């Protein structure tokens, strides 16, 4: 299996963890952390844009993660 197929098969997410208290926002992305805004539902796109704007205030910088399931 080529490297391209391995990356295509891997599910990657970008996670924004809240600074205060529990909670986070998670969005699907590619292996470089790019979120396809056109593929997101309207509410998810609005949440993503809000959370990204609040990094450093209410949310930590995003982290890439590969869930086990």
CA distance from start to end of the chain: 21
pTM of the predicted model as reported, rounded to 2 decimal places:
0.78
- Tens of each residue's pLDDT in the chain, 69 residues: 444 444 445 689 999 999 998 899 999 999 999 999 999 999 999 999 999 999 999 999 999 998 765
Place of tokens 């809240």: 18
């Amino acid at each position: 299996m080529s490297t391209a197929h391995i990356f295509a098969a891997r599910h990657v997410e970008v996670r924004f963890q809240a600074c205060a208290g529990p909670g986070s926002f998670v969005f699907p992305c590619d292996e470089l952390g790019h979120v396809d805004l056109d593929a997101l539902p309207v509410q998810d796109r609005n949440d993503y844009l809000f959370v990204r704007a609040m990094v450093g205030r209410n949310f930590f910088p995003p982290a890439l993660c590969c869930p086990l399931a």
